């Protein structure tokens, strides 16, 4: 059995879309624990509503690639439309952040809210940090 931390985020009707995403995930996987969900500022493209972000620790028999594919299908089923703006508004964003104890999403280095969610779900996990800039 594999364990994964799935990041959830939304800024289009976020309370409803995160609730629907949690229900969909719970219907297919065993949710071990849910992190707190917090409001965050948009990254990359500032002219949009704030996001609500959090994470779920799940167990699955799927491999990482199959889980990633299923999450992208769930995004579509929940109304996400991909646009050219990688940082634009979205109904739901589902990403594998940690796979069997290993951080697999580079954004964890840059986003404190992701690190806090992961640490809430897996206390004591070693998380990568952005290396300090040299002056």
Residue in 112, 113, 73, 69 with CA at minimum distance from that of residue 92: 73
Q: How far apart are CA 26 and CA 38, in angstroms?
A: 20
Q: How far apart are CA 56 and CA 68, in angstroms?
A: 14
Residue 131 domain-assigned (yes or no):
no
Q: How many domains does the chain have?
A: 1
pLDDT tens digits along 61-120: 999 999 999 999 999 888 777 766 666 678 899 999 999 999 999 889 888 999 999 999
Residue 126 domain-assigned (yes or no):
no
Residue 112 domain-assigned (yes or no):
yes
Residue 130 domain-assigned (yes or no):
no
Residue 135 domain-assigned (yes or no):
no
CATH number, residue 9? 3.30.70.560
∠ Cα 24 27 29 (to 5°): 100
Residue 94 domain-assigned (yes or no):
yes
pLDDT tens digits along 2-48: 999 999 999 999 999 999 999 999 999 999 999 999 998 777 666 77
Residue 99 domain-assigned (yes or no):
yes
Residue 27 domain-assigned (yes or no):
yes
Residue in 18, 12, 117 with CA at minimum distance from that of residue 74: 18
Q: How far apart are CA 48 and CA 2, in angstroms?
A: 36
Q: How far apart are CA 31 and CA 22, in angstroms?
A: 9
Provide the domain limits for residue 62.
Answer: 2-121
């Amino acid at each position: 059995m594999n364990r994964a931390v799935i990041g959830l985020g939304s800024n289009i009707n976020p309370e409803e879309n995160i609730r629907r995403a949690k229900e969909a995930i719970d219907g297919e996987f065993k949710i071990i624990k849910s992190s707190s969900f917090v409001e965050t500022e948009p990254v990359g493209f500032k002219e949009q509503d704030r996001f609500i972000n959090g994470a779920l620790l799940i167990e699955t028999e799927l491999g990482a690639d199959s889980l990633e594919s299923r999450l992208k299908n769930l995004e579509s089923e929940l109304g996400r439309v991909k646009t050219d703006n990688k940082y634009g508004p979205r109904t739901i964003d589902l990403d594998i952040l940690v796979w069997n104890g290993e951080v697999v999403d580079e954004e964890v280095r840059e986003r404190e809210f992701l690190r806090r969610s992961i640490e809430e779900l897996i206390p004591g996990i070693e998380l990568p940090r952005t290396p300090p800039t040299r002056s």
